[in-house]
Amino acid sequence: MKFYRRWQPVNALTFDLDDTLYDNRVVIVRAEQLLLDWLEDRCEAMAAFDWSQWQVMRQRVIDENPSLIGFVTEIRRAQIVLAATLCGLHAPEARLLADDAVAFFLFERSNFTVPDEAIETLSLLASRYPLVAITNGNVDSDKLGLTPYFKQVLRAGPDGAAKPDGTLFVKAQQALAMPASDILHVGDHLKSDVRGAVLAGFKACWFNDTHQPLTTQRRASLLPDVEITHLSQLLTLTGCGAS
């Protein structure tokens, strides 16, 4: 654990979900490969698209409809509609395929088990502090068994603009009904989580499980208050102790 500012106790915590409570990179790679296989089984022409072409289609739908920014599920839906259309499907068929594909993907992207360390840490913290989740992703927190630990789960898109925009942080503060300076936000992303939290007046905890020095990180524009490499270190930081 490394401190960048003089530490003052907090009265609540907010948490990022993806890549903080679990390794989302592995989850997404698996889910996206399963989705590609699913699509190719239903539309053989989809096999012609490589990774770079999928990324071009993703950027195209965002460029054509900037209001999609922050709505990761709807970006994926529009991307698949475009791909299906390029494969020759008519608009109604493309939309139906995309709806089924998104439902399949959402199931698989939440089809994993949260590590014991994360669950144990959340359980101990929730017994002493109110917690709120703030995520830019679309994971099903109910399916993962995470929802009971949080007073509220705030999602980019439905609940406001994606981090580092301050909207979700403001809503979290309102839900916790306390000054922003009394809240510690925990997250892995130096821009979305650390910068977003600091600008919102929260204390920021950088979850650095890669053990890369802060000085080498291109996204490091604002210092966190504290850096941890294991979630269980939050128990020492907050005085919850070990179970």
Q: What are phi and psi of 21, to 5 degrees?
A: -90, -15
Contact in structure between 107 and 217 (CB atoms under 8 Å): no
C-alpha to C-alpha distances, 23 to 28, 70, 102, nearest whole angstrom: 9, 21, 21
Of the candidates 79, 109, 139, which is a domain's last residue? 109
Range of the domain at 136: 2-22+114-238
Query: Any idea what the CATH number is for the domain that residue 10 is in?
Result: 3.40.50.1000
E strands in the chain: 2-3, 12-15, 131-135, 152-155, 183-187, 203-207, 226-228
Helix (H, G, I), strand (E, B) or coil at 205: strand
DSSP label of 233:
H
Query: Any idea what the CATH number is for the domain that residue 84 is in?
Result: 1.20.120.1600
Cα dihedral 123/225/227/161 (nearest 10): 70
Contact in structure between 185 and 168 (CB atoms under 8 Å): no
Q: Answer yes or no: do 103 and 118 share one domain.
A: no
- For the chain, the domain total comes to 2
Q: In the annotation, is 99 catalytic?
A: no
Of the candidates 87, 109, 131, which is a domain's last residue? 109
> What are the residue ranges in the chain where pLDDT is below 70?
241-243
Q: Answer yes or no: do 170 and 103 share one domain.
A: no
Q: What are phi and psi of 49, to 5 degrees?
A: -85, 130
Picking from 34, 31, 11, 50, the residue whose alpha carbon sits closest to that of residue 137 is: 31
**243 occurs within a structural domain:** no
pTM: 0.90
Q: Answer yes or no: do 99 and 120 share one domain.
A: no
Q: Answer yes or no: do 85 and 143 share one domain.
A: no
pLDDT at residue number 221: 82
Q: Answer yes or no: do 156 and 184 share one domain.
A: yes
H helix or E strand, kind and range, residue 89:
none
From 16, 18, 19, 188, the catalytic residue: 16
Q: Answer yes or no: do 96 and 153 share one domain.
A: no
Contact in structure between 46 and 83 (CB atoms under 8 Å): yes
pLDDT at residue number 192: 95
Q: Answer yes or no: do 233 and 120 share one domain.
A: yes
